[in-house]
């Protein structure tokens, strides 16, 4: 599956805007249309748009509908309907015909609607959305408020993770066209630092050959059994690097009998990522990750795609001299990853598998996890900014049942992509049982907050002791992928106390001091980039306040110290 774009052989338009909305108050389908309760914005999460509690907390079925016309000049083309994200499940009907469904929320899916869409009448598109999480879903939910001790029991809604379970059509809805005779279905680009570029693709319909052009180089490849593969070399290739986003474009044309069937341009970067000893190497040079865990979260729109927020966030990352972030705890929008490509920001791309608890795991949990992980790798593998895969966050990996589960996940990723390291983010420190399957150890540690509260010097000793034990056991580079403290913007205290800006600053800088004294620590990702909404819980005052920035993207005190610290490279 490739990201839709308009070319000489493809058209594209979006169905974003105002849709009709209704809750499914009783069993029965609305596939043929319904009387709306509300109007809703697409893309956005629906939860915070309305004033009624019953709408905000509704996680059973809701229905979206809108009508649209198809231009007659597109008649005769292959027509495809694409959803970039529907959380958690989406079931789609067009003109009363069921097209299919998709689950796991954060990856795209599409349907060929050529034989269903009408050109002489208005089309009715209805989408059933459901956000009912369970032991079988990724992430899990509704565990009867019995998560592992230390996780967030008693939350409303019942989630074992610390962010709000927003729902809806949260990313763009698109209609695009191709020729019926032949079209490019997928493409994979892999590069080496000597400028070698390997390109393979899958073809729908029929085509005799693929003609590729890039940077003055032109090659042809025969299509065999619906696929092609070829390679070429870019002499003197400019490498993609941190804050040096050198990008290339390969134009792919599918031809049959001298006729151009399809044309698509795939963007890519020439760069290599590998792990050697205690270092992560980007283009043969060690790279130290300094940045944040984040959330797609903003007032009113929830997790809905907003280009203005994305631009602001990246401007703040550049201002504070961060070079990276992790897509905690789910795949972020493809548009945001594309922006990272264009700006030279490093990304750890993470599956939506947070707080997998092996007291509740079923065979269906693993199946859903493998499915969405494969969809994530397929979606993001051509983006040079994605330099590492993360298969999960904070699972109960101190239990023996986790071993075959995570072995299967690591094997899937490595079979699909051998060009990037793979990690798993643990909260079990040296008690983790699955790190043998991964290249980099990711660990979330909160001394000075969840334990040793208010005791920065003791927290530093605890952090050092834990990291030393982990390295002794795993003998792999370690990234501290979460650490920090909840902070109320404007609250001050001397001496520093929990929740004050002084305490957040003192704790974070103290943690970094320890990390940078240990040669095998290769990154520091503060939790969190910005304050974000969570389920209601007595430990959360209007959400999680561990952000270095407020939810509306203004800096707390710690940002000014980080800006100065991160201006100096960790590795000369």
Spatial CA neighbour of 397 closest among 354, 368, 367: 354
Cα–Cα distance between 571 and 287 in angstroms, integer?
A: 7
Q: Determine whether 394 is an active site residue.
A: yes
* Active-site choice (334, 394, 501, 506): 394
Contact 388, 348 (CB under 8 A): yes
Q: In whole angstroms, what is the distance from residue 114 CA to residue 7 CA?
A: 19
Q: How far apart are CA 21 and CA 36, in angstroms?
A: 5
**DSSP secondary structure string for all residues of 378-442:** HHHTT-TTEEEEEEEES--TTSTTHHHHHHHHHHHHHHH--SS-EEEEESSGGG-S-GGG-SEEE
**Host H or E run for residue 515:** helix 501-515
Torsion of CA 357, 360, 366, 368, to 10 degrees: -100
Q: Would you state the structure tokens that stand for residue 486, as one six-digit string?
A: 């909840």
The DSSP 8-state label assigned to residue 285 in this structure reads E
Is residue 482 annotated as part of the catalytic site, yes or no? yes
Tracing tokens 């980039």 back to the chain, one arrives at 529
Q: Dihedral of the CA atoms 160, 497, 482, 562 (nearest 10)?
A: 150
CB burial of residue 30 (10 Å; 0-12, 13-18, 19+) = buried
Could you tell me the two tokens for 547? 């952000």
Neighbours of 307 (CB within 10 A): 11
Task: Confirm if 292 and 527 have CB atoms less than 8 A apart.
Answer: yes
456 within 8 A of 506, measured Cβ to Cβ: yes
**Structure token digits, residue 237:** 């290739």
**518 secondary structure, DSSP code:** S
Catalytic residue among 482, 501, 506, 524: 482
Catalytic residues: 394, 482
């Amino acid at each position: 599956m490739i990201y839709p774009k308009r070319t000489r052989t493809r058209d594209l338009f979006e169905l974003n805007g105002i849709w009709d909305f209704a809750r499914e108050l009783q069993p029965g389908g609305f596939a043929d249309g319904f009387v709306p309760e509300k109007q809703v914005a697409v893309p956005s999460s629906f939860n915070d748009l309305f004033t009624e509690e019953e709408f905000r907390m509704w996680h059973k079925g809701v229905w979206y509908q809108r009508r649209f016309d198809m231009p007659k000049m597109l008649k005769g083309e292959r027509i495809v309907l694409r959803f970039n994200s529907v959380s958690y499940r989406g079931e789609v009907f067009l003109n009363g015909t069921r097209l299919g469904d998709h689950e796991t929320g954060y990856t795209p899916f599409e349907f060929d609607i050529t034989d269903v869409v009408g050109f002489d009448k208005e089309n009715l598109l209805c989408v059933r959305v459901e956000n009912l999480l369970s032991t079988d879903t990724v992430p899990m939910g509704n565990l009867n408020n019995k998560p592992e001790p230390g996780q967030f029991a008693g939350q409303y809604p019942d989630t074992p993770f610390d962010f709000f379970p927003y729902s809806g059509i949260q990313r763009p809805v698109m209609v695009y066209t191709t020729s019926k005779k032949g079209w490019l279905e997928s493409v994979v680009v892999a590069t080496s630092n000597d400028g070698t570029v390997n390109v393979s693709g899958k073809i729908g319909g029929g085509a005799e050959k693929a003609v590729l052009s890039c940077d003055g180089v032109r090659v042809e490849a025969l299509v065999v059994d619906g696929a092609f593969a070829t390679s070429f070399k870019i002499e003197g290739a400019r490498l993609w690097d941190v804050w040096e986003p050198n990008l290339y474009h390969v134009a792919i044309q599918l031809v049959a009998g001298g006729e151009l069937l399809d044309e698509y341009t795939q963007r890519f970067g020439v760069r290599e990522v590998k792990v050697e000893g205690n270092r992560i190497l980007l283009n043969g040079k060690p790279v130290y990750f300094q940045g944040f865990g984040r959330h797609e979260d903003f007032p009113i729109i929830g997790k809905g795609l907003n280009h203005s927020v994305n631009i602001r966030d990246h401007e703040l990352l550049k201002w504070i001299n961060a070079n990276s972030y992790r897509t905690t705890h789910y795949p972020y929008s493809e548009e945001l990853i594309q922006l990272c490509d264009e700006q030279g920001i490093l990304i750890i791309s993470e599956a939506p598998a947070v707080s997998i608890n092996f007291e509740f795991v079923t065979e269906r949990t693993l199946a859903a996890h493998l499915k969405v992980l494969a969809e994530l790798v397929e979606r993001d593998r051509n983006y040079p900014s994605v330099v590492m895969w993360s298969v999960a966050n904070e699972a109960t990996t101190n239990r023996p049942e986790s071993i075959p589960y995570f072995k299967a996940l690591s094997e899937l990723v490595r079979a699909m992509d051998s060009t990037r390291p793979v990690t798993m983010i643990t909260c079990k420190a040296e008690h983790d049982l699955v790190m043998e399957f991964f290249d980099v150890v990711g660990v979330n540690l909160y001394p000075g907050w969840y334990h040793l509260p208010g005791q920065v010097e003791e927290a530093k000793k605890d952090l050092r002791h834990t990291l030393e034990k982990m390295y002794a056991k795993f003998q792999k580079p370690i990234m501290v992928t979460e650490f920090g403290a909840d902070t109320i913007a404007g609250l001050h205290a001397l001496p520093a106390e929990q929740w004050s800006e002084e305490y957040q600053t003192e704790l974070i800088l103290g943690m970094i001091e320890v990390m940078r004294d240990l040669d095998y620590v290769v990154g520091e990702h503060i939790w969190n980039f910005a304050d974000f909404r969570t389920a209601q819980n007595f430990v959360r005052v209007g959400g999680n306040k561990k952000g270095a920035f407020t939810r509306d993207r203004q800096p707390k005190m710690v940002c000014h110290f980080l800006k100065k610290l991160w201006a100096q490279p960790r590795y000369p």
